[in-house]
Amino acid sequence: MKSIYIVVITLVVGWLLFQTFQPSLHNPKAVPRPIEARGDLAADEKNTIDIFRNAAPSVVYITSIAVRRNLFSLNVYEIPQGTGSGFIWDKQGRIVTNYHVISDASRLEVTLADHSSWKAVLVGAAPDRDIAVLQISAPADKLRPLTIGESKDLLVGQKVFAIGNPFGLDQTLTTGVVSALGREITAVTGRTIRDVIQTDAAINPGNSGGPLLDSAGRLIGINTAIYSPSGASSGIGFAVPVREVNRVVPQIISQGKLIRPGLGITLANRNLSKELGLEGVLVLRVLPGSTAEKVGLRGSTQVRDGLVVGDVILEVNGKKVGDHDALRDELERHEVGETVILTLMRDASTVDVKVPLEAMN
């Protein structure tokens, strides 16, 4: 009996000691810990915040809508085809985006930063450059165009900022640096887009068509593509440089399309040139009345035993051109009416010919 008392007393004392030294989970005296002041934001944080606040009202959300027919009732109905981003180009309501964002749409809708939605119409596009221009009828006080920057003086390592609407969410900001310059990507037409900016700023589905900005908040490119087997950002994104955008967009606005400078010739494909062992671009035909005809360029002639080779274009203004794309890229660095110097292989010798560029459809 005595031993039972000892055990009970021991348990009671132990419980009292536990209560004394073990803080209660529901101690009414517990209060929130004081918040320690963090101090002012760092200068680079302030800059990032300012860039987003200033640029966000210029970024739009684009919904492309397709028309479908019900197989049973034959009724026509609309379904969302895809989404993307874009940005306000001017106070007249023109919106710039990627061509691949709107290419298959039957109807387009643009949502501004204030969540107002507007019907959009296609002004024109340059599919080879993955650029398109839309028009909305929003009042000028709702439209804040982005400030245009420069892409020719970009440096690897400088900060960049991407704004868009990934996954249909509200506007988001991702940051990174210029990872590389002079990259190449393929447009939806299969044409190579050259001099592209590579960045590690996250570019997710829905960011396409949105702006890439420098640390001054100026437009330096259009976010166009990501390199990722899964379709999500993997740290390798690409943007069409603003220099190309600023060249193409005014032409689309005034002409509805990109007016290409050309020579008025038909070119052989790469396989034929390779079969003939030629380095450069073979001229197959010179169009009647073209500037090429006027300066005496020679086309190729089909004969019974094969092909009499005409002029082979080796260089444009001293820059080598190895194929059709390279030749077009060099010509498109110039304006219609400008004169270029072609270095030709003609009758086993080289010759330089000056050719004025003409407008080509």
Active site residue ranges: 100, 130, 208
The burial class, CB within 10 Å (0-12 / 13-18 / 19+), for 213 is buried
* Nearest Cα to Cα of residue 51 among 199, 198, 220: 220
According to DSSP H, which parts of the chain are helical?
2-21, 43-55, 99-102, 242-255, 270-275, 291-294, 324-331
Phi, psi of 245 (to 5 degrees): -60, -45
CA triplet 120, 93, 167: central angle to 5 degrees? Answer: 55
| Tokens, residue 246 | 């600023």
Helix (H, G, I), strand (E, B) or coil at 7: helix
CA distance 129 to 90: 20
| Tokens, residue 57 | 């009202």
Helix (H, G, I), strand (E, B) or coil at 72: coil
